Structure 1
Amino acid sequence: MNITDPEQAPPLVLIVDDEKFTRLQLRLAMEQVGYQVVETSNGEEALAAYTQVQPDIVLLDALMPAMDGFTCSRVLQTLPGGDRTPILMITALEDQESVDRAFAAGATDYITKPIHWAVLRQRVYRLLQVSRATEKLRQQTERARVSEERLRLALDAAHMGTWDWDLLNNKISYSATAATNMGVAEAAVDTYESFLESVHPEDRQVLEQIINTAIAQQTDYNVEFRVVWADGSIHWIAARGQVYYDETDTAIRMTGINMDITDRKHAEAELQRQTLRSQLFADITLKIRRSLHIEEILQTTVTEVQRLLQCDRVVLFQLSSDGSGKVVKEEVVPGCTAIIGRNLHDPCFEKQYLDKYIHGHISCVADIYNSEVQQCYIDFLQQFQVVANLVVPIFIKEKLWGLLIAHQCDHPRQWSSFEVELLRQLSDQIGIALAQAQLLADETRQRQELTRANAELQQFASVASHDLQEPLRKIQAFGNRLKTMYGDLLNDQGRDYLDRMQNAAQRMQALIDDLLTLSRIATRAQPFVPVNLTQIAQEVLSDLEILIQQTNGRVMLCELPTIDADALQMRQLLQNLIGNALKFHQPEQPPIVKIYSQALADWQSTEGEESLDAKCEIIIEDNGIGFDEKYLDRIFNVFQRLHSRSEYEGTGMGLAICRKIAERHGGSITAMSKPMQGAKFIVTLPIKHNRGD
């Protein structure tokens, strides 16, 4: 979906993030919607790039080495045009102090990690819209100011747009331009009283005071006021004048110029409204985002919107698929009917109209009794004393969640474009906040389920280590006694039964031990510390010395890296993989095992130091019996065997334990093999971890 304006040049986005993968994701997200992208990896590069390319928006990571995003944002504000360039702060921090710090540093908005890419693209699009609109208004205001100054100079030089007030005879004469500005006939002669009648009633008293002060105190007359023309239209006038006195200091004449500054005033008012809207929007958005709890978000929304619009009622209506729904939150003034918690069904709310909201339709009705509203809808709204309403849809991840509705109950109301646009933008923010709250709720539920699963796993481990092993030890002990004391009394079949019983008990013991090992990978894990894998591998080979001699095997160990890991689990991982390589050898062929490592392409950062996302591969390669790769997914599952116990002993859990260990370290394990052509097991592990993981 391309959301750029085809009539304008594609916006230029400056991405600032020290993580290469994150920068790549951000670039793809921006280029998919037609934006141009410039990347930098730290704050210093960002400042240099900003000066050179003058981007339209900056996507700024909050936490970076050297110069963090907060510092970079503050410095950006001091660069030419930096205070007008929107900055979207990207951060994993959600505490109030970090949010306040981001806005204090000059950030226009912020988004938290993990990033929801559809949300990011919409956020960037809205910020660019507001930035361009504000810049356009600023340019218009500047052009109006320059034009006005030129006009002032022209009027001063040519005495155009002049007026002359004869104080003794109370007559005011205007030049053609001055008369046009005042809305009177060209070259008209007026009186002071009729002049005051043309002034807007709200400005009349103040204007009289200024005029009287200028005459009494012999000061210059410089004022801006409104006049009402004969057609009822209102215009702004800027007037400057000077009072003349006779030899007795009696005021006899006042002359000056006037000009129509209506366009400038309208531009200033629009810019002020835009600034106010941006400020109010930021304030409400901040209040909404201070909480990720859905109930608090919704209540804050209706409270703030009602306070801002000064309307009679604001409700959040959560929709069902059939068009019915429930008022989940409400803010209503005294005297109006409260409808909180009511399940409502509008008989006129047909599927066709519901589809309009699904496609983003906004309903704006100034007076339900003087509009093209159906009678059944009027009857429905009359239950709640509604005379005028403004309805804006709310979406969560492009799915219609409900409606944000403002009601005026005591009289008709003409909703301004400012109010409509403000509610539309707020509905976007509500949808984003609801999506984030939903993600938090899902994450909390998953975390609780994981905690419960770990508790059950720990309980199983406790049962396995005590209740299951105790009867097993008795079977083994009494089996040994039977064999020692009565073995000679048994016939061949009896001794065979006894041997089978003891072998089954041994297999059960090995199975329980492996299950305990698997369960304790997470529940009894040790903190990550630097682990020399070469040393660990040498110790494992020492433990496997007898097996190596029995199979006439040969193991070649190359230098392995030092990584942040759990040393005990690394020993278990290597012991399982090397032991399998020795065990599954071809008949009459001694096993040959190679153990080596290789760095991935991005093992080192550009400065030559290992980065947090650097990884390595540990490879165990053998010349054994191998396997068909169609069983690749199967061999890493619990209790999975490709051969019978009579061929190769084991519980079928060794590779499952290896996978569990690799995943706990943020890595993975896979294999490459062909039948009777050996196997190559590849374990991918991060080099660095945050200590204590």
Structure 2
Amino acid sequence: MVLIVDDNQENVFSLKTLLDLHKFDVDTANSGEEALKKILKNTYSLIILDVQMPDMDGFEVAEAVSGYSKSKDIPIIFLSAVNTHKKFITKGYASGGIDYVTKPFDPDILLLKIKTFYKLSEQTRRLQEMDRVLRDEIEFRKRAESRLKDNVAELESILESIPQVAFTTDFDGNVEFVNQNWYQFAGRRDEFPQCEEGDIRQYIKTAIRAQHQQVNEVKVKKLGTEAFRFYVLYLTPVKHHGIASKWVGILTDIHEQKIAAQLLEKRVQERTTELVHANQKLEESNYELQQFAFIASHDLQEPLRKIQVFSNLLNEKYTPPSVQAQGYLEKINLSAERLRKLIADVLDYSNIKGETAFSIVDLNGVLERLLTDLEVVIRAKGATITAGPLPTLEVIPVQIRQVFQNLISNALKFARKDVPCHIEITAEHVAEKAVDAAAVPDGDYCRITVRDNGIGFSEDYAEKIFEIFQRLNTSERYEGTGIGLAIVKKVIDRHYGLIAARSVESQGTCFIMVFPVRQTASVEALEHLNI
């Protein structure tokens, strides 16, 4: 911007018009005081200053402008029609002007001078700006270099204090610093510790190519020794603007841990082999045991039938027997019947593994057919059974029927004598395999609840009731073998489900079962479980 300072409005107008025609940005002032105020507020590239002005002449204004740090480098062209003597021209140059033009003047010559000085002023201003930026950049770099030196010194101090081998390299992998532990493996700083397959230099080159941290397990030996030991080499980049400018290396001894891990791995492999053999023997033993239980149970049934037959013959042919003899015969028959049921339950328990075919089953149909088969017992007990809609699950049909049959029979058997038996069966989808899981419409699991109002039991025995041959009541009061709930538990385990019992004495029992809606395990996986 060019500032024209003149108290004559005609001069200002004519000169401003000339500069406007040549695309100069022009500002004007009518006095020296106004010019100084504008110079303090604005930035000008050239000042055209009239010498003869009231109050404050051009020389005084020029001296004031030269005294301001902001404006001291602004070029000033004096313009005068009166003060044309040599002494005024000399005074103009002395007060800070770079040219002195007397009137009348040639407009073209004046315009050339204005363009020249304006261009020089702009160049000077840009150079000063560049100089300022460069000075700031130099100062910034000095401070950054100082901080970097401090950081490097701090890093080297830290690396010197640690018990591991530590070193730093430049971005090309040339060693810059090593701590004292380095010399246990290398005689000089520019040497590298020897690895079983070379030296550490190859790992540094790999890290430089990758440009990110590298962790390598290496075998290194100390100077004066022949044995290689296990170490972990950490190579971490120190990045500046995303580029690794330095690398920090740490070599940590892991020999004892490595040897221990190898020994542990070997023992685990040995133990795994032993377990595989033991599992095979266990499977063979389980198969033989199942065969034995099946054969023994069948073989026991034949003499048991003879006991029952001959006991009935004695009762029929040699009647009337004595009261004592009749009591003995009744005990024989009762014991034989209990033994028959026990044998049947043992057969059921041993045969659970035999059926492995899962299929999609509507539990409503299973329950409906079961209740039809139990109709006589239910009517004799005066029991009522209510069931909400049951889902369709992927199950083993025969076994899931056995679960419902055992739980309903259990509820009928342990009904209170003075209270009508009521059994309630409900089902809902849940989010996870847990007894108390939240109910969700499309859950992957189904929770089925069988609740009765029977005699109940103390929850101290909630886990024991699922163990085989466990009875909470004597056989004289309640018939049974103690295998029914064990069968239920085993069937649910085969379905990857879970069961829990909750009860209050004299108020009833609630059995809660959780089944997967769909079975994802194969038959082979089920066989592997050995249940």
Secondary structure of the corresponding residue to residue 463 of structure 2: helix
Could you tell me whether the CA contact under 8 Å between 2:455 and 2:507 is conserved in 1?
yes
Deviation of the 1:426 alpha carbon = 6.8
Residue in 2 that maps onto 1:495:
326
Q: How far apart, in 2, do the equivalents of 1:551 and 1:267 lie? A: 86
Residue in 2 that maps onto 1:632:
462
Q: Within the alignment, does 1:655 sit opposite 2:512 as a pair?
A: no
Could you tell me whether the CA contact under 8 Å between 1:140 and 1:267 is conserved in 2?
no
For residue 518 of structure 1, what is the amino acid of its counterpart?
A: Y
Task: Select the residue among 335, 355, 361 that pairs with 1:525.
Answer: 355
Task: Select the residue among 472, 479, 484 that pairs with 2:304.
Answer: 472
Question: Structure 2: which 5+ residue stretches go unaligned?
Answer: 1-165, 175-187, 192-198, 232-248, 434-439, 527-531
Q: How far apart, in 2, do the equivalents of 1:234 and 1:479 lie? A: 104
Residue in 1 that maps onto 2:171:
140
Describe the shift of the 1:268–1:366 C-alpha distance in structure 2 as closer, same or farther (beyond 3 A). closer
Superposed CA offset, 1:478-521 (max 9, x none): 222222222x1411111111111011111101001111111111
Q: How far apart, in 2, do the equivalents of 1:657 and 1:477 lie? A: 30
Could you tell me whether the CA contact under 8 Å between 2:411 and 2:452 is conserved in 1?
yes
Q: Within the alignment, does 1:588 sit opposite 2:426 as a pair?
A: no
Deviation of the 1:456 alpha carbon = 3.2
Q: Within the alignment, does 1:462 sit opposite 2:281 as a pair?
A: no
Describe the shift of the 1:598–1:442 C-alpha distance in structure 2 as closer, same or farther (beyond 3 A). farther
Superposed CA offset, 1:255-312 (max 9, x none): xxxxxxxxxxx99844346699xxxx99x99xxxxxxxxxxxxxxxxxxx9xxx8xxx
- Which has the higher Rg, Structure 1 or Structure 2? 2
Provide the aligned length of Structure 1 versus Structure 2: 312
Describe the shift of the 1:507–1:435 C-alpha distance in structure 2 as closer, same or farther (beyond 3 A). same
Task: Select the residue among 664, 673, 681 that pairs with 2:494.
Answer: 664
Q: How far apart, in 1, do the equivalents of 2:498 and 2:335 lie? A: 33
Could you tell me whether the CA contact under 8 Å between 2:429 and 2:442 is conserved in 1?
no
Could you tell me whether the CA contact under 8 Å between 2:361 and 2:393 is conserved in 1?
yes
For residue 653 of structure 1, what is the amino acid of its counterpart?
A: I
Could you tell me whether the CA contact under 8 Å between 2:378 and 2:412 is conserved in 1?
yes
Residue in 2 that maps onto 1:389:
227
Task: Select the residue among 349, 363, 367 that pairs with 2:224.
Answer: 367
Could you tell me whether the CA contact under 8 Å between 1:390 and 1:420 is conserved in 2?
no
Task: Select the residue among 340, 352, 366 that pairs with 1:509.
Answer: 340
Could you tell me whether the CA contact under 8 Å between 2:415 and 2:454 is conserved in 1?
yes
Q: How far apart, in 1, do the equivalents of 2:351 and 2:208 lie? A: 59
Could you tell me whether the CA contact under 8 Å between 2:171 and 2:208 is conserved in 1?
no
Q: Within the alignment, does 1:437 sit opposite 2:269 as a pair?
A: yes
Q: How far apart, in 2, do the equivalents of 1:675 and 1:461 lie? A: 36
Q: How far apart, in 2, do the equivalents of 1:631 and 1:458 lie? A: 28
Q: How far apart, in 2, do the equivalents of 1:274 and 1:436 lie? A: 35
Describe the shift of the 1:464–1:367 C-alpha distance in structure 2 as closer, same or farther (beyond 3 A). same
Residue in 2 that maps onto 1:680:
510
Describe the shift of the 1:267–1:625 C-alpha distance in structure 2 as closer, same or farther (beyond 3 A). closer
Could you tell me whether the CA contact under 8 Å between 2:294 and 2:350 is conserved in 1?
no
Residue in 2 that maps onto 1:543:
373
Deviation of the 1:441 alpha carbon = 2.6
Task: Select the residue among 575, 579, 592 that pairs with 2:405.
Answer: 575
Q: How far apart, in 2, do the equivalents of 1:453 and 1:535 lie? A: 38
Q: How far apart, in 2, do the equivalents of 1:559 and 1:542 lie? A: 17
Task: Select the residue among 610, 616, 620 that pairs with 2:450.
Answer: 620
Q: How far apart, in 2, do the equivalents of 1:502 and 1:430 lie? A: 66
Q: How does 1:42-441 map to 2 (within 5 A)?
A: 140-141=171-172, 269-272=202-205, 365-367=222-224, 388-392=226-230, 430=262, 433-434=265-266, 437-438=269-270, 440-441=272-273
For residue 367 of structure 1, what is the amino acid of its counterpart?
A: G
Describe the shift of the 1:275–1:457 C-alpha distance in structure 2 as closer, same or farther (beyond 3 A). farther
Superposed CA offset, 1:349-369 (max 9, x none): xxxxxxxxxxxxx9x55436x
Secondary structure of the corresponding residue to residue 389 of structure 1: coil
Deviation of the 1:530 alpha carbon = 1.4
Could you tell me whether the CA contact under 8 Å between 2:406 and 2:488 is conserved in 1?
yes
Describe the shift of the 1:233–1:572 C-alpha distance in structure 2 as closer, same or farther (beyond 3 A). closer
Q: How far apart, in 2, do the equivalents of 1:661 and 1:526 lie? A: 11
Q: How far apart, in 2, do the equivalents of 1:275 and 1:476 lie? A: 91
Q: How far apart, in 2, do the equivalents of 1:481 and 1:275 lie? A: 100
Superposed CA offset, 1:424-454 (max 9, x none): 8975874685476356335414522430342
Describe the shift of the 1:583–1:392 C-alpha distance in structure 2 as closer, same or farther (beyond 3 A). same
Describe the shift of the 1:602–1:662 C-alpha distance in structure 2 as closer, same or farther (beyond 3 A). closer
Could you tell me whether the CA contact under 8 Å between 1:366 and 1:389 is conserved in 2?
no
Describe the shift of the 1:574–1:234 C-alpha distance in structure 2 as closer, same or farther (beyond 3 A). closer
Deviation of the 1:628 alpha carbon = 1.1
Superposed CA offset, 1:572-607 (max 9, x none): 11000011112211112210100011222348xxxx
Could you tell me whether the CA contact under 8 Å between 2:311 and 2:333 is conserved in 1?
yes
Q: Within the alignment, does 1:451 sit opposite 2:451 as a pair?
A: no
For residue 389 of structure 1, what is the amino acid of its counterpart?
A: A
Q: How far apart, in 2, do the equivalents of 1:233 and 1:521 lie? A: 74
For residue 294 of structure 2, what is the amino acid of its counterpart?
A: S
TM-score norm. by structure 1 comes to: 0.40
Describe the shift of the 1:629–1:467 C-alpha distance in structure 2 as closer, same or farther (beyond 3 A). same
Residue in 2 that maps onto 1:5:
none
Q: How far apart, in 2, do the equivalents of 1:494 and 1:483 lie? A: 9
Deviation of the 1:623 alpha carbon = 1.0
Superposed CA offset, 1:384-413 (max 9, x none): xxxx223459xxxxxxxxxxxxxxxxxxxx
Question: Structure 1: which 5+ residue stretches go unaligned?
Answer: 1-132, 145-231, 236-265, 286-304, 310-361, 369-387, 394-416
For residue 588 of structure 1, what is the amino acid of its counterpart?
A: D
Q: How far apart, in 1, do the equivalents of 2:384 and 2:431 lie? A: 31
For residue 674 of structure 1, what is the amino acid of its counterpart?
A: V
Secondary structure of the corresponding residue to residue 227 of structure 2: strand
Residue in 2 that maps onto 1:107:
none
Residue in 2 that maps onto 1:563:
393
For residue 386 of structure 2, what is the amino acid of its counterpart?
A: M
Describe the shift of the 1:503–1:234 C-alpha distance in structure 2 as closer, same or farther (beyond 3 A). closer
Q: How far apart, in 2, do the equivalents of 1:576 and 1:442 lie? A: 39
Q: How far apart, in 2, do the equivalents of 1:508 and 1:626 lie? A: 26
Describe the shift of the 1:633–1:420 C-alpha distance in structure 2 as closer, same or farther (beyond 3 A). closer
Superposed CA offset, 1:515-574 (max 9, x none): 11111112x123211122221111111111011100111000111122221111101110
Moved more, 497-506 or 422-431: 422-431
Q: How far apart, in 1, do the equivalents of 2:445 and 2:264 lie? A: 35
Describe the shift of the 1:423–1:637 C-alpha distance in structure 2 as closer, same or farther (beyond 3 A). closer
Q: How far apart, in 2, do the equivalents of 1:434 and 1:275 lie? A: 36
Describe the shift of the 1:610–1:601 C-alpha distance in structure 2 as closer, same or farther (beyond 3 A). closer
Describe the shift of the 1:578–1:659 C-alpha distance in structure 2 as closer, same or farther (beyond 3 A). same
How large is the RMSD of aligned CA atoms in angstroms?
Answer: 4.1
TM-score norm. by structure 2 comes to: 0.51
Deviation of the 1:418 alpha carbon = 11
